Structure 1
Amino acid sequence: LDRLGNRLLTGVRAREFDFTFKAVRDDSVNAFAVPGGHVYVHTGLIKAAENETELAAVIAHEINHVVARHGTQQLTQQYGYGLVIQLLLGQNPNLLAQLASTLFGQGAFMAYSRSMELQADYLGAETMYRAGYDPRGMISFFRKIDTINQRNPGALEKFFSSHPMTGERLRNIQMEIGKLPPKTFREDSSEFNRVKARL
C-alpha cells in the first residue's frame, strides 16, 4: 500500500503533509481517510479489486478527500475545531488510533456529500492520470461494486454509507476522463497479485 500510495502522491496537485497507508483486516469492501493524511484500506476491498489500477482508483479517491479537506469539514461539524486541530498538529498521539478505531467500529468514516464525492472522483482520476495509472480503473471498479450491490443488496452497506454511489457519479467521471489526452499508462505490478493471494 505504501508503494502504491506514494506513487499516487506524485500526481496530487498539492500536498501539505505526509500520508500513511494502512491495511485493515476486514472482509468488507471499504476504505476511508482521516484528516492529516491517514488512509485505511480494508483487505476485503483489496480482494475485490481486479488489479492494481482498480485499487489505485480507490486510494486516489481517498487521498483527494484529504487534499480537499472533506474529512476536516465533516469532523469539525461533528466534534468541533479542538479535535481537528489536535489531530492535524499531532498534539495527542493516541487520538488518531482512537478516532480510527471508533470510525472502523462504526463501519464507515462519514457520509460525504454528493459534491464532495464528485470532487474526490474528479481529483482522484486526475491524480491517477498524472501518476501514470489509467483512470478508467475508477470506472471499472465503480461498475464492479454497483454490480455486486445489485446482485446482493446490502452486501456493500459499509462502502455505500460513506460513499454513496449514483449514476451521476459514474457519468461525470466518464465525461471527465474522456477529456484527458491519450497517454501510455504503467503496467500493473506482479506485487499486487502476490499480496492479494496472501489475504
Structure 2
Amino acid sequence: MIPFKNLSRGFVILFSLFAFSSCEDNEGVIFSTQDDIRLGEQVSQQVDSTYRAKGQLLEPNSSNANVQKAYTHLNRIVNRVLNSGEVKYRNDFAWTVKIIDDRETLNAFAAPGGYIYVYTGLIKFLDDEDHLAGVLAHEIAHADKRHSVRQLQRDYGIALLLSVALGNNPGALQQIAAQLAGTLAGLRFSREAETEADNTSVLYLGGTKYYSCDGAAGFFVKLNSQAQGSNPPEFLSTHPNPDNRVENIQQQAQQQGCSTDNAPDNDFNELKKSLNL
C-alpha cells in the first residue's frame, strides 16, 4: 500500500504537470518542453548510431565535399520553413535535419525536440522543391505540435514517461531512446495529428513568402499515383492518406489566401546533384 503522504505528494506533482502542459496549450502532454529536448537528444543519438553502423548516415560534418554541399542546400530549404515566423518552438528545439542514404525508402520522420530525418529515396522521388519543403514542413509540424511525444505517451504509457519526467527513473529515458531508434520511422500518428500537420505545413510555407503554401499537396498527388502499384511507398504506412487529404491542404491554402506560386528549384536541384540522385 502506498502511504497517503506519498500519494498526496505524487498527486500534487501530477496535477502540476498537467496544469503546466495545459498552460502551454498542449492538452494531454505530460512532458515539459525540456523533457522533449532531453528525450529527442537521446533518440537522435541512438538513431545516428544505428544508421552510422549501417553506413547509411550522411554526416553533416563529413569531409566529403558533395555531402557538405548537399547539407548546404537542404538546410537552406529547412531554414526558410523554420524562419517563417510560425514555428512555435523555433528557438527552443534543436531543429537539425539529417540525411539517411537509403534510396529505396521513401520516407521522412521527426523525433521529439526538433530532430528531422529524411531518406535519399524521398529526395530522389520528388522533382519539385515546393513538394520537398511541404514534406519537411509537415515533419517539423509533428515536432513543433509535440505529436511525437504525445504518441510516445500512447505507445509506452503515461506511467513510464511520468517517471522520466519526475526524475525518478534515470535509466528509463535512455532505454526508451534506444527502443525508439528502431521504431520511430514507424511511429503512427492519429488522423487528427496528421491533419494538423498538413494544415500547419500550409501555415509554415505561407509564412516563408517563398514556397507554394500547398506544397505538401503536390507531394501527396505524386504519392497517390505511386501508391496505385503493388509496392506502396513506406511513407504511406506511417502517414495514412485519406482520399480528401490533398483537397484539405488546398482548401486550407485558399482559406489563408497564401501564395500557391511555385518557387525556383535551385536548392533542390543542387541537392539532388550533390547526392547523385
Q: Do they superpose with TM above 0.5?
A: yes
Cα distance, 1:68–1:175 mapped onto 2, change above 3 Å: same
Amino acid at match of 1:102: G
Deviation for aligned residue 1:186: 7.3
Deviation of 1:51 (Å) = 1.6
Measured at CA, do residues 146 and 85 of structure 1 come closer, stay the same or move farther in structure 2, by a change above 3 Å?
farther
Matching of residue 173 in structure 1 with residue 249 in structure 2: yes
1:41 aligns with 2:121: no
- Cα distance in 1 for partners of 2:202, 2:175 equals 31
- Alignment counterpart, residue 136 of structure 1, candidates 214, 220, 228: 214
| Cα displacement string for residues 83-106 of structure 1 (whole angstroms, at most 9, x for unaligned residues) | 9759xxxx99977984564136xx
Could you give the per-residue CA deviations for residues 27-70 of structure 1, whole angstroms, max 9, x where no partner exists?
21100000010000110111111121110000000000111111
Shifted more, 64-73 versus 95-104: the winner is 95-104
* Residue 174 to residue 191, structure 1, CA distance change in 2 (3 Å): closer
* Native 8 Å contact 1:14 1:67 kept in 2: yes
**CA distance 1:36–1:159, shift in 2 (3 Å):** same
Three-state SS of the structure 2 residue aligned to 1:179 is helix
SS of the aligned residue for 1:36 comes to coil
- TM-score, normalised to structure 1, is 0.83
RMSD: 2.7
* Structure ID, larger Rg: 2
Aligned residue number for residue 14 of structure 1: 88
The 8 Å contact of residues 77 and 267 in structure 2, kept in 1 or not, is answered as: no
Q: 2:194 aligned with 1:81, yes or no?
A: no
Q: Secondary structure at the match of 1:33?
A: strand
Pairs within 5 Å for 1:176-195: 176-183=252-259, 187-195=263-271
Give the letter for the 1:136 counterpart: D
Give the fraction of aligned pairs with identical amino acids, expressed as a percent. Answer: 34
Partners of 1:22 and 1:40 within 8 A in 2: yes
Cα offset, 1:140, TM superposition: 1.2
Residue 81 of structure 1: how far off its partner (Å): 1.1
Superposition deviation, residue 21 in structure 1: 0.4
Q: Distance in 2 between matches of 1:129 and 1:47?
A: 25
Where does 1:99-138 land on structure 2 (aligned, <5 Å)?
101-103=181-183, 108-132=185-209, 133-138=211-216
2: distance between equivalents of 1:10 and 1:83? 35
Distance 1:39 1:83 in 2: 26
Q: Distance in 2 between matches of 1:84 and 1:163?
A: 28
Unaligned runs of 5+ in 2: 1-73
For structure 1, the 5+ residue unaligned runs are: none
Paired residues in the alignment total 190
Structure 1 counterpart of 2:6: none
